[in-house]
Amino acid sequence: METVRKGFITSDLVKSSLIGALKKFNPVTMIKNPVMFVVEIGFIFVLLLSFFPNLLGGAEGEHAQLYNAIVAIILFVTILFANFAESIAEGRGKAQVQTLKNTKTDTQARVLLADGTEVMKQAHELKKGDIVLVQAGEVIPNDGEVIEGIATVDESAITGESAPVVKERSGDFSSVTGGTTVTSDWLMIEITSLPGESFLDKMIALIEGASRKKTPNEIALNTLLVSLTIIFLLVVVTLYPMTTYLNVHISIATLIALTVCLIPTTIGGLLSAIGIAGMDRVTQFNVIAMSGRAVEACGDVDTLILDKTGTITYGNRMATEFLPVKGVDQQTLMQAAWLSSLTDDTPEGKSILSLACDLGVTTTDEQQLIQYSEHIPFTAQTRMSGLNLQDGTIIRKGAYDTIKQDSLAAGQHIPTNLEQLVHQVSAVGGTPLVVSLNHNILGVIHLKDVVKSGLKERFEQLRAMGIKTIMCTGDNPLTAAAIAKESGVDSFIAESKPEDKIKVIKDEQALGKVVAMTGDGTNDAPALAQANVGLAMNSGTNAAKEAANMVDLDSNPTKIIEVVEIGKQLLMTRGALTTFSIANDVAKYFAIIPAMLMVAVPEMNALNIMQLHSPTSAIISALIFNAVIIPMLIPIAIKGVKYKPMSATKLLQKNLFVYGLGGILAPFIGIKVIDLLTGPLLTMLGL
């Protein structure tokens, strides 16, 4: 991944892109871009006229061949620059592809047969359903599901993340990717994909662009560009009899040059580059888009569905405060809570120890206490855990009902404000954990599913973009409401089941909304498939990844926010450059036509506001400007127009002012500057 990020344009990239640009001159390739295909046909005709000036009655004096040759060279450069823009965009993706291909090695696989024997096979010989054993230090040969064992896996070759991740049977961390390395222990894996169809193979094909199909927006824009091309072709065709009637002779080369100047060559040359670059920008965030349609859909997202656990919250309840009952000081409660958690290896137990230590609990003789005490583990039946100390002291922590019953059974009184403290914790979506010492209740530990830092600000960003956020959680309505309020989501669905997620997505889509969703589990797969944009976590199940149209290699569910911004940036870039290109064409029309006709129709001189040197200079200057504007816009096409959350009206006004007005002014300035440089030179050449 790092190769992609090193620089915007390197010398190696320029060299390979120039070679690629020349290869794209093949008419079979060019016909996929109708606008530039028209330019190529024009180039071929003018090139023939350069060698055979009498062809098609095109002779026009002793300097005809030179003029035709100059026009042909400029047309060639125009096509080259357009192809170069696309090659640059493709080249940046190929740097990442090479990294992925280096990961794909022909690995030896240890296949377990039905009779218990082992046989070694090459990775490309594996079949779907084969069971392979992968030990520490070995490469996982192909995509699969863990069916036995638990181990850490280094996925840095794919994700760029150096920290190994734990993979185990069942759950949301059972899927493994071919090309990754087991770093500890062993895994027994069932192969789930055929050779050449693994996740890595799909990534390579998608990034190379081999599987990239034009999106509906791109197809619609192509249709517009073809329509404009036909319109301007008709304008030029009708111009010929008009000028003939006025006794103005316009050569074939001039008519072709005029056509190229007026059709939307700027956006035509950059359109493919914009689409490819959009997918490339997504991959630089370690997200693999299964299609350009998915990236584009991100730009139109209206509603975002998020899981609570692991997405909005960290997923593990953590101790946040100690609440003693009347008559008990906080230090006593904290000391008992600390002792009850000494042998508790759960995230909750560790968080209690951490909080108690932070608040100043004495932690002497910790190892001795553990060694000479009886550990009472938590079970679903007892619903409490703790320690029996060597001196007979009994310390417990557990559910309110359980500890209350235990205390009553021992003949102890229940503190008067215990129920109030329990309700106080529950009312804010927390989990109350009651602590007792020798069956005397000391107080309550407030366990809370902690909301990830910075999420509230990020949801505010989405709100500014006009995107509604909905949290789906299996929690009770009280807990869900508290988490929703703290995180800043717009609404929530409590006690949510998989079918509830699908229903909310369908309901939103029925209102004409574009819906995005993040998920990682098999139970999320139906909803991921139903959503317009489904972002699956790479750490999740294969079912989730197959159902989604995007996969986040870093398994960061909030990455959807960056992806939405990239989608909006893609649409903005396409819209901005289209506005610029069309405004360019209008300006060039009014810049060139008066200069061409002013000799035969002196009255046209009043419209020649740029005072161009001559009709020939006007055509040559406009052609040169038409060619050089394409590479000048490549950085914008590749990097994208900077996106800032704002209303559609403000966005339209900004685009019209910056790219519309800029598109009108740029040709007037650019053509005039080029005319000042080329006019005298053309006069010297007798043109």
The set of catalytic residues is: 307
Q: What separation in angstroms does the CA of 26 have from each of 18, 84, 303, 305, 399?
A: 14, 14, 44, 46, 74
Handedness of CA 302, 308, 313, 314 (dihedral sign): negative
**550 by DSSP, 3-state: which?**
strand
Whole-number Å distance between alpha carbons of 305 and 505: 8
358 belongs to an annotated ligand binding site: no
For residue 375, list its beta bridge partners: 387
Instruction: Name, in order, each residue with C-beta under 8 angstroms of 548's C-beta and a sequence gap of 6 or more.
Output: 290, 519, 528, 529, 534, 535, 536
Distance of alpha carbon 231 from the chain centroid: 37
Q: Which string of DSSP letters, residue by residue, matches 241-299?
A: HHHHHTT----HHHHHHHHHHHS-HHHHHHHHHHHHHHHHHHHHTTEEES-HHHHHHHT
Going by DSSP bridges, is the β-strand pair 491-493/468-472 parallel, antiparallel, or unpaired?
A: parallel
Q: How many CA atoms lie within 13 Å of 233's alpha carbon, on the beta-carbon side?
A: 13
Q: Which amino acid, residue 504?
A: V
The closest of 654, 666, 653, 667 to 623, measured between CA atoms, is 667
How much is the CA Rg of the chain, to the nearest whole Å? Answer: 34
Whole-number Å distance between alpha carbons of 382 and 500: 33
Distance of alpha carbon 23 from the chain centroid: 30
277 belongs to an annotated ligand binding site: no
115 belongs to an annotated ligand binding site: no
Whole-number Å distance between alpha carbons of 671 and 687: 17
524 belongs to an annotated ligand binding site: yes
218 belongs to an annotated ligand binding site: no
For residue 122, list its beta bridge partners: 108
- Judge residue 270's burial from the number of C-beta atoms within 10 Å of its C-beta, 0-12 exposed, 13-18 middle, 19 or more buried: buried
84 belongs to an annotated ligand binding site: no
Whole-number Å distance between alpha carbons of 617 and 678: 7
Whole-number Å distance between alpha carbons of 542 and 42: 51
385 belongs to an annotated ligand binding site: yes
30 belongs to an annotated ligand binding site: no
Q: How many CB atoms lie within 10 A of CB 382?
A: 15
280 belongs to an annotated ligand binding site: no
Q: Which amino acid, residue 216?
A: P
- Let me know how many helices (H) and strands (E) the chain has, helices first: 25, 22
Whole-number Å distance between alpha carbons of 676 and 613: 8
Q: What separation in angstroms does the CA of 253 have from each of 237, 620, 628, 684?
A: 13, 11, 20, 20
345 belongs to an annotated ligand binding site: no
Whole-number Å distance between alpha carbons of 282 and 93: 11
Tokens matching residue 660: 């519309």
Going by DSSP bridges, is the β-strand pair 144-148/186-191 parallel, antiparallel, or unpaired?
A: antiparallel
Q: Which amino acid, residue 385?
A: S
Residue pair 126/111 in contact by the 8 Å Cβ criterion: yes
383 belongs to an annotated ligand binding site: yes
Q: How many CB atoms lie within 10 A of CB 546?
A: 17
Binding residues for ATP: 344, 348, 378-385, 397
Binding residues for Mg(2+): 520, 524
Binding residues: 344, 348, 378-385, 397, 520, 524
